[in-house]
């Protein structure tokens, strides 16, 4: 029997307990031992839970229990999750987590602590919920140099954009619907401003390139400014607008990483990922494009990834899984100004084409009606920005600009 504990009995934690209880036989068959939930840490009371006798409000009941070998941290947030996880790893217990905030901001430290204490720190559930992505990336794709990872990493924003694209809803109505259906929080900022996606692309980048990429100064642009006009013009350009977390390793060794809405060609696999689903494309030098698709959130999908990590930890009680990245200060991250892209521009007057051509060079005209929408050639963000300043100084109002993907 392997004894485990769960910290946090919210959406994910209760799912973890449910799966371990209802899938007992399946887990036993794989592990050859029973997985037994010995303690659950939560400040709330759950008198009606069938596991009510396992609850504790005292973290030390888990830390000091030598029989507990693996702990699922599914509380969320940095504090006290970081403190607890550190103490557990130092006590030689393995910790698995769905907490992307924790991994994105403290991953390098926790991996190092795990290594020094011969314990495992696993976090498959922190990216893509129930979609297998981290383990395939480090194990199955180990023989590839990863050229690029591009993902629809946030279900809330993908749901909103899908409603705008497929049903012509405006942003506010789509957000309200997402909130009513439970896909979006009452305070949706972390989702709609791209911060959630940023944490996830940073975790993927750290794994793929072996050094911690911190989210703090990564260019992160959300979807609040996307209008139905943009959605329509994108469609005229045979594209859809998706919120993409993207990371590429450039030839000069720099890491080009950002979160931004992008125009994605309708034939791209990423364009067909709709509603609350996530999709992550990994471009390997041997495999070419490989794509992983599924539900990126939700109680049971996310919990099933946490339980998979628990199982993996149970199978590797005495040895460490190979999962490592070094700490860094983001010194290899390309300044966003130097990132190169084609850009979709929408301006307030169809008469601006001559001015645009003069400043940007030749552009592709997507639409010209009461407004003008164009696609520029590939150029640095700094160049685009200075061109836009010139354009504005000549009286043209730029209503929106969105990166164009070549995926």
Residues with a known catalytic role: 200
Alpha carbons 247 and 211: distance in angstroms, whole number: 13
As measured in angstroms, the least distance from the Cβ of 173 to its own copies is 22
As measured in angstroms, the least distance from the Cβ of 312 to its own copies is 6
Q: Which class for 132: exposed (0-12), middle (13-18), buried (19 or more C-beta within 10 A)?
A: middle
Q: Which chain residues interact with its own copies by CB under 8 A?
A: 15, 19, 23, 26-27, 29-31, 124, 130-132, 135-136, 138-145, 210, 269, 272, 284, 286-295, 300-301, 303-305, 307-308, 311-312, 315, 322
As measured in angstroms, the least distance from the Cβ of 122 to its own copies is 11
Q: Name the DSSP class of 379.
A: E
| DSSP-based three-state secondary structure for 288 | strand
Q: Which is nearer to its own copies, 73 or 124 (CB)?
A: 124
As measured in angstroms, the least distance from the Cβ of 225 to its own copies is 29
Alpha carbons 111 and 12: distance in angstroms, whole number: 22
Phi, psi (deg, nearest 5) at residue 195: -65, -40
Alpha carbons 348 and 345: distance in angstroms, whole number: 10
Q: Which is nearer to its own copies, 127 or 218 (CB)?
A: 127
Q: Name the DSSP class of 248.
A: E
Q: Which is nearer to its own copies, 195 or 242 (CB)?
A: 242
Q: Which is nearer to its own copies, 146 or 218 (CB)?
A: 146
Nearest to 284 by CA among 132, 149, 133, 131: 149
Which DSSP string corresponds to 354-377?
A: HHHHHHH-S-EEEEESSSEEEE--
Alpha carbons 122 and 98: distance in angstroms, whole number: 9
As measured in angstroms, the least distance from the Cβ of 74 to its own copies is 14
Count, residues in the chain: 407
Strand 379-380, strand 340-347: pairing = antiparallel
* Beta carbons of 174 and 165 less than 8 angstroms apart: no
Cβ count within 10 A of residue 99: 27
Nearest to 399 by CA among 352, 340, 331: 352
| DSSP-based three-state secondary structure for 41 | strand
Q: Which residues of 375-395 are buried (b: 16+ CB within 10 A; e: fewer)?
A: bbeeeebebbeebbeebeeee
The tokens for 277 are: 């689903």
As measured in angstroms, the least distance from the Cβ of 211 to its own copies is 12
As measured in angstroms, the least distance from the Cβ of 198 to its own copies is 24
Q: Which is nearer to its own copies, 118 or 145 (CB)?
A: 145
């Amino acid at each position: 029997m392997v004894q485990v504990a769960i910290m946090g009995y919210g959406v994910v934690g209760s799912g973890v307990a449910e799966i371990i209880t209802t899938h007992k036989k399946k887990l036993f068959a794989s592990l050859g031992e029973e997985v037994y939930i010995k303690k659950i840490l939560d400040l709330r009371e759950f008198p009606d839970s069938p596991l009510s006798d396992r609850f504790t409000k005292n973290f030390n009941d888990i830390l000091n229990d030598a029989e507990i070998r693996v702990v699922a941290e599914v509380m969320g947030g940095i504090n006290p999750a970081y403190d607890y996880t550190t103490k557990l790893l130092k006590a030689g217990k393995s910790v698995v987590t769905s907490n992307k905030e924790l991994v994105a901001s403290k991953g390098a430290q926790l991996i190092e602590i795990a290594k020094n204490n011969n314990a495992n720190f696993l976090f498959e559930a922190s990216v893509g919920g129930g979609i297998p992505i981290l383990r395939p990336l480090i194990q199955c794709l180990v023989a590839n140099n990863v050229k690029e990872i591009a993902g629809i990493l946030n279900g809330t924003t993908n749901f909103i954009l899908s409603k705008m694209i497929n049903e012509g809803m405006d942003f506010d109505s789509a957000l309200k619907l997402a909130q009513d259906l439970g896909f979006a929080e009452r305070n949706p900022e972390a989702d709609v401003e791209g911060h959630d996606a940023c944490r996830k692309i940073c975790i993927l980048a750290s794994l793929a390139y072996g050094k911690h990429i911190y989210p703090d100064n990564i260019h992160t642009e959300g979807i609040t400014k996307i209008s139905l006009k943009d959605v329509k013009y994108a469609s005229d350009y045979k594209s859809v607008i998706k919120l993409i977390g993207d990371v590429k390793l450039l030839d000069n060794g720099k890491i080009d990483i950002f979160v931004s809405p992008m125009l994605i060609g309708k034939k791209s696999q990423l364009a067909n990922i709709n509603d609350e689903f996530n999709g992550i494309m990994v471009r390997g030098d041997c495999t070419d494009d490989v794509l992983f698709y599924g539900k990126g959130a939700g109680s049971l999908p996310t919990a099933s990834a946490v339980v998979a990590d628990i199982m993996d930890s149970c199978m590797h009680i005495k040895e460490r899984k190979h999962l490592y990245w070094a700490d860094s200060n983001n010194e290899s991250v390309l300044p966003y100004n130097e990132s190169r892209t084609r850009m979709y521009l929408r301006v307030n007057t169809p008469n601006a084409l001559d001015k645009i051509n003069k400043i940007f060079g030749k552009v592709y005209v997507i639409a010209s009606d009461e407004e003008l929408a164009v696609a520029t050639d590939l150029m640095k963000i700094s160049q685009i920005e200075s061109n836009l300043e010139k354009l504005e100084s000549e009286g043209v109002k730029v209503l929106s600009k969105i990166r164009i993907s070549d995926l």
